A and B are shown apart, each in its own frame.
Chain A
Amino acid sequence: MAFLKIENLRKSFGKVDVLKGIDLEIEEGGFLVLVGPSGCGKSTLLNTIAGLEAISSGSISIAGKVVNDLHPSERDIAMVFQSYALYPNMTVAENIGFGMEIRGVPKPERDKAIAKVAETLQIGQLLTRKPSQLSGGQRQRVAMGRALVREPQVFLFDEPLSNLDAKLRVDMRTEIKRLHQRMGTTIVYVTHDQIEAMTLATRIAVLKDGVLQQFGTPAEIYNKPANLFVADFMGSPSMNLIPATVEADGGNVGIVMQRDEGAPLVLPLANGAAVNLAARNGQKVVFGIRPEALTDPDSADRNARQVSELDCEIEVIEPAGSDTFAVTRLGGREIIARLRADAPISAGQTARLAFNLDKAVIFDPETQARIL
């Protein structure tokens, strides 16, 4: 059953429509990540869930109760802000206890709750400090402590890690995931970082221009992107999207990609895929394949049902330590292949690359939607 449910949510600022009919739901204990480029409406969506922005139409319900018109403090939520938003004039303990103080919780009870949260987050020694005396990571913990102490039904995170340096960000990411596993509270998390989205989420909602592009598990989003935008946005390096043509000859269907020199590259498709595409004979499509599905024959997935090996001209080699990235050209585009670190390959030469067609997807360039 859906714990947090958003139905046909619309929000406009004057004449500008920021959210254009969003439908989302997440089960109790789920981790929903809202991801998208800046200006896609993800933070606005979070603010409407929090009650910090009024909605124009639609409904938001938490645990079966419609909260559209409730004050933020009555929705049983807690929020961690991008800037942490710690009250500068209060100590860490006062920051964490402010909400309880406003609600009139007696001091001994408050102190007990603060101590408990401080222990969970290991910030006990910071309780008497002011926010200005804390490092970025410590401020982040205090901001999370202020949310934890409420024991809410839903946690809202608004890009909580974007102000931390790279190393700390990875640590805190793990910590958030650990906290979620331990407490099992429902979380809605906004980020523009698709790696954060993939690592944390049980469900991902990809937004663009106020429209929900795709809503699904991280694996669905990654392996079966609903359209070209999602395919391009999720994953790093991003998916290779190659202009191609369908060529059907009786029962055999192939994908044809132009090369700068030499004959076009033809990838034969397996029967299942072939049936679906046969009707599109001669039409243009976009062939999508992730860099890790395009590799040297030795690294190719042994369990894949359908792998095609073809010779490609390698233009550039980018060793990255754990892997080597090779750049080639197909259909007039730069294509990135991900090889094992010591693959015997060098720039300017022809190398054999294995296309794992199990992992390939095909899009309609007109509608941008995935057709296979």
Chain B
Amino acid sequence: MSAEKIVGTGRGNRFLRVVLYAVLILFALYYLLPLYVMVVNSVKPLDEIRQGDMLSLPQIFTLEPWAKAWSSAQIGVQPTGLRPYFFNSILMVVPAVAISTILGALNGYVLTKWRFRGDDVVFGLILLSCFIPFQIALIPAARILGMLGLAGTTTGLVLIHVVYGLGFTTLFFRNYYAAFPTELVRAAQIDGARFFQIFRRILLPSSAPIIVVTVIWQFTNIWNDFLFGVSFGDFDSLPMTVALNNLVSSSGGVKEYNVHFAGAILAALPTLIVYIVSGRYFVRGLMAGAVKG
């Protein structure tokens, strides 16, 4: 009886399947709608948006809002566009992702393959940092950055994001390496490899899937962060998200919705690209053949 249900040959089943797909397609459209609105309106002249129909396709196609959002829109005091802030974000995200991923991998390696007394407690404490709300840490973090002389700098933001990301990256790598066969580490020890050699030659080559997961996760989180950026950033270090907010909420003059839409897409683009590019390398089954089976 239940077997027939699973195989799905009955007529009732086909009907259910149609309903299922209809619902899924409906939801997909629903979720795509905002993106559609953003893209369509970012290539319209402002007048066309003012006429009130946000859903219609552009009558006149223009890339001017994109150019303006990128290089000449009024953000704060200066008409610089989003460009300098985009590079602020890049300069912050790339080192923060790289450092937190490497440290997380090392933590995971030590916590699973070089176990020591109390390692579970250490891991528990690191894990706890995943659950601390950002707001609680704002004032102490500001104090520490001030003491280190890093207030308002990109380096300061990198430090904050590395510290905050460490809990997650450690968790990812620890759980991944827990399933990594310890006998491989032992074999390498007998072959004479030492701590970093084992890490670099034996574990890292098999870590592609978890590195991709961690990079996507860290990149998305750090790129999209607003609170740390607005709290600890200065003109030279304000990230894209804060700049976008300043662009959209700057008072005075007309609200240039088309420029805002273009700016918002520009701010979202890097995370999309990271996901699409590195997702392709999300390969499974790299461990096959290491041990039996």
Residues of A at the B interface (CB closer than 8 Å) are 47, 50, 52, 71-73, 77-79, 81-89, 98-99, 102-103, 130-134, 136, 139, 146, 163
Contacts and interface: CB of A to CB of B under 8 A. Distances in A.
B286 interface: yes
B190 interface: yes
Contacts of B189: 52, 71-73
Nearest to B197: A102
B192 A81 contact: no
Interface in B69-115: none
Contacts, number: 85
B273 interface: no
B292 A84 contact: yes
Interface string B253-293: 00000000000000000000000000000000011111110
CB-CB nearest 3 A-B residue pairs: A132-B289, A73-B192, A99-B191
B291 A73 contact: no
A161 to B, nearest CB: 12
Contacts of A130: 289
A83 B289 contact: no
29 contacts: A52-B186, A73-B189, A73-B191, A73-B193, A78-B190, A79-B186, A79-B187, A82-B183, A83-B183, A83-B290, A83-B292, A84-B292, A87-B184, A87-B187, A88-B206, A88-B288, A88-B289, A89-B205, A89-B206, A98-B191, A98-B201, A99-B190, A102-B192, A102-B193, A102-B197, A103-B192, A131-B290, A136-B292, A139-B289
B146 to A, nearest CB: 45
B148 to A, nearest CB: 39
A339 to B, nearest CB: 39
B288 A132 contact: yes
A77 B187 CA distance: 11
A143 B292 CA distance: 12
A15 B9 CA distance: 60
A316 B195 CA distance: 61
Nearest to B184: A85
A4 B181 CA distance: 29
Given A72-B189, A73-B192, A130-B289, 18 more contacts: A52-B189, A52-B190, A71-B189, A77-B190, A81-B186, A82-B183, A83-B292, A85-B290, A85-B291, A87-B201, A88-B286, A89-B202, A98-B188, A99-B192, A102-B191, A131-B289, A132-B290, A139-B292
A47 B186 CA distance: 10
Q: Which of A82, A132, A136 has the most CB of B within 10 A?
A: A132
Contact of A85 (B181, B193, B205): B181
A89 B180 CA distance: 13
Contacts of A77: 190
Contacts of A133: 289
B238 to A, nearest CB: 42
Given A52-B189, A98-B191, A102-B191, A87 B292 contact: no
B183 A81 contact: yes
A134 B289 contact: yes
A50 B190 CA distance: 8
A87 B202 contact: yes
Contacts of B291: 83-85
Contacts of B288: 88, 132
Contacts of B188: 87, 98
Nearest to B191: A99
A91 B192 CA distance: 19
Contacts of A88: 184, 205-206, 286-290
Nearest to B205: A89
A88 B183 CA distance: 12
A131 B192 CA distance: 21
A78 B288 CA distance: 24
A292 to B, nearest CB: 35
- Max chain B CB contacts within 10 Å: which of A47, A89, A131, A146? A89
A71 B192 CA distance: 8
Nearest to A162: B292
A302 to B, nearest CB: 47
A163 B202 CA distance: 23
A83 B287 CA distance: 13
A89 B285 CA distance: 12
A168 B291 CA distance: 17
Contacts of A81: 183, 186-187
Contacts of A89: 202, 205-206, 286
Contacts of B292: 83-84, 136, 139, 163
B269 to A, nearest CB: 34
Contacts of B206: 88-89
Q: Which of B190, B193, B202 has the most CB of A within 10 A?
A: B190
Nearest to A98: B191
B280 to A, nearest CB: 20
Interface in B170-189: 181, 183-184, 186-189
Nearest to B193: A102
A102 B196 CA distance: 12
B208 to A, nearest CB: 10
A168 to B, nearest CB: 12
Interface in B198-217: 201-202, 205-206
Contacts of A139: 289, 292
A139 B181 CA distance: 16
B181 A83 contact: yes
Contact of A87 (B190, B192, B290): B290
